[in-house]
Amino acid sequence: MKWHLNSVFLQLVVITLCAGCGDSGGGGTEDEPICAAQEKKCDGSDLVKCNSAGSDWDFFKECADGCEGGACNGTESCEPSCSGKTCGDDGCGGSCGDCGEAAYCDLGGQCQEGTCTPQCDGKLCGNDGCGGSCGSCAEGLTCQDFQCVPGQCNPDCTGKVCGNDGCGGSCGSCAGGKACEAGQCVEPTCDPKTGIKSSASFPSVVAPYGSEVFAVYLAHLLGAPTFDDAGWSFADVTVKNTCPTTQAFKVTARLDGFSTPVEKYESLPAGAEITVSLVPTFDFPKLYGLPDVLPGAAKAQVVMDSGVVAGDFSKAVSILDVHKILLGAFFDPVLELASELWFSAKELSATLVTPKAGAITSFVTEAIKQYPPPWGNSSGFGYSSVPYPGPVPENVWDIGVGGGWSWYFWLDAGETTEVEILSVSGGSDADIAYYFFSNDDYDANYDALTYGEAPPAQGSYDAQAGHWTSFTAPDSGWYYLVLFNTTDNWASRDVQLVRTLSAEETVRSVLKSLYDYLHEQGVNYTSLTSSVFPNTQYVRLPSETLSQKSGNCIDGTLVYASAIESLGLNPVMVFVPGHVFLAVPTSENTESSFWVFLETTMTNSGDFDSAYMSALDQFVTNCLESEQCEPVDIGLMRNYGVFPVNVK
């Protein structure tokens, strides 16, 4: 705010100094004004002006050509004008009033609350827009259109209700948000092409090695709650209104030829700025039907209510068909959802795990039918059935004297397994002992049994036929169930029993059924790479891999992952340098449970156990020893809103 001399304050000082004084030299009393406020008269060659209290005459101006009739003679004569004004210049170097400290005087001579920034650029004199002055003119010059020119300036407001009076003064101001144009108060106009500033970006378009790419397999994530809340959109359009009034417009965006444009209507006050995020309605059947990479364009527009296009944006892109996914570092991280949470390109490939595809449903049904797990079917399966409650029958024949039979399985800490002996051969002398040993204790305890020594009490359970018992693992690890013939009559034993499967056995059994079926179907490993962009992987959809009976590492992993998810379990795709294989946790708590692994490229070249051990070796080498792996937890991705593409 520009500070000005407070004439009222000076007048009060004068009044105070004169209070109680008699008439001396033309002065008056406080109750008896001697002149009209702002009145001018000549005092010799000087022009004097009556103060606002009417109590005295103040020096106003020296007249070079003499003073007559309350005005300077010659070119200096000027008729003050304060009509319609409460403040500011009177057109003759005088003032129409002051606004005080908490307000300023606008160009129309009206007091306005708040602060004001003086505007004197290109001006030599006249009003600065805040009730102050941009300067005064030398003797013999007058202020006209904010410039000092020779001669007298006569303010001219003929036909005007606002604007410049031609002498640095004002003809009035406009109210109600109207603008002054050619001396008249009118509704303000603004050219949208200059007054509306806009820009656009396309967050879902990435640029591997300089090539602008839009990946079809990610399109359906745009607009999903998680991604929408995180601000991941197809187009972000920023609009700034530099016009003097509120402007109405719509913002549109589309993937040219593959979507219905989305439109959002906005109304933006003067000086305001907004960013509008848009996701068009994609034509998914058309996008999923693309046979290969296709040139396309991402487009956005800002269109005023009048139909004038204020912003037009277009980005040429290569549309990656659904068979191509991005694996390169240029996409890491692609999306930040929180301060420590982001999605990589590999994690977003979870969209191609398609558990509800018809081909996957048929595959799982046939696999369980032809290669049934111990319980015989998959109805009602899921982690609620892991470990499978059973009981599963087991028959062991001819356990010799001093000999035994064992089962080897993993138990998570706190996991319980149960066993019931149904029958033991030997008539009235029939007996059998059974024990649970940890992996660390097995060798020592089994040797003790062989030599007729009793194992530690906490590791053994003895019972006759018909006895049911259970064992709860104190720690996660491998355990043995051992049957041992400690008969007193030196006879071999045949044993029939039932037991519950552990979680590890349950998951491994399911995975083996799927593997054995595809092995029998002759599904082969074939390598198909992309020739479009570096770090772009060509991928067959699971239904295509099954129908073509061939696929590479990621194709096969997607098939098994889709089948496992359809059964209610949680697959994990383990990415290592140049490769990917499958893991299946034994419980919903992925981080703390046991993982069953599978190298899917061995489906037609090895048995299940070999494929299991191959993937396990890779996990140890790449994930535990060198930390060069990225496990993609499909269940976790679903929780974050990364859902499957809707394909058959």
pLDDT band at 274 (very low <50, low <70, confident <90, very high): very high
More confident residue, 145 or 301: 301
Q: What is the pLDDT of residue 363?
A: 95
Return residue ranges of the chain for CATH 2.60.40.10: 192-322
pLDDT mean over 327-339: 47
Q: What is the pLDDT of residue 513?
A: 93
Closest CA to 570 of 548, 595, 543, 604: 595
Buried b or exposed e, range 466-499, using 16+ CB within 10 angstroms: eeeeebebeeeebbbbbbbbebeeeeebebbbeb
More confident residue, 23 or 185: 185
Chain mean pLDDT for the chain:
78
**The two structure tokens encoding residue 301:** 């527009």
Q: pLDDT of 163-220, one tens digit each?
A: 777 766 678 777 766 666 677 787 767 787 788 999 999 988 877 656 788 888 888 8
pLDDT band at 18 (very low <50, low <70, confident <90, very high): very low
Q: What is the pLDDT of residue 29?
A: 43
pLDDT band at 585 (very low <50, low <70, confident <90, very high): very high
Query: Could you tell me if 590 and 633 are in contact, meaning their C-beta atoms sit under 8 angstroms apart?
Result: yes
Return residue ranges of the chain for CATH 3.10.620: 352-377+505-639
The radius of gyration computed from the CA coordinates of the chain, to the nearest angstrom, equals 46
Which CATH number fits the domain 352-377+505-639, given the four candidates 3.90.320, 3.40.1350, 3.10.620, 3.30.870?
3.10.620
CATH topology for 192-322?
Immunoglobulin-like (2.60.40)
Closest CA to 409 of 398, 419, 417, 400: 417
pLDDT band at 21 (very low <50, low <70, confident <90, very high): very low
| Residues 423, 430: Cα–Cα separation, whole Å | 9
Q: What is the pLDDT of residue 67?
A: 83
pLDDT mean over 275-291: 91
Q: pLDDT of 398-413, one tens digit each?
A: 888 878 888 888 998 8
Query: CATH for 391-500?
Result: 2.60.120.680
| Residues 275, 239: Cα–Cα separation, whole Å | 6
Sign of torsion, CA 180 185 191 192? positive
More confident residue, 344 or 475: 475
| Residues 235, 201: Cα–Cα separation, whole Å | 6
Q: pLDDT of 342-358, one tens digit each?
A: 667 788 889 999 999 99
More confident residue, 548 or 421: 548
Return residue ranges of the chain for CATH 2.60.120.680: 391-500
**Highest mean pLDDT pick, 88-92, 214-218, 392-396, 491-495:** 214-218
Buried b or exposed e, range 102-121, using 16+ CB within 10 angstroms: ebbbbbbbbbbeeebebebe
Mean pLDDT lowest for which of 54-63, 75-84, 430-439, 585-594?
Answer: 75-84
Percent of the chain with pLDDT over 70: 76
Whether pLDDT at 623 is above 50: yes
**Highest mean pLDDT pick, 26-35, 366-375, 506-515:** 506-515
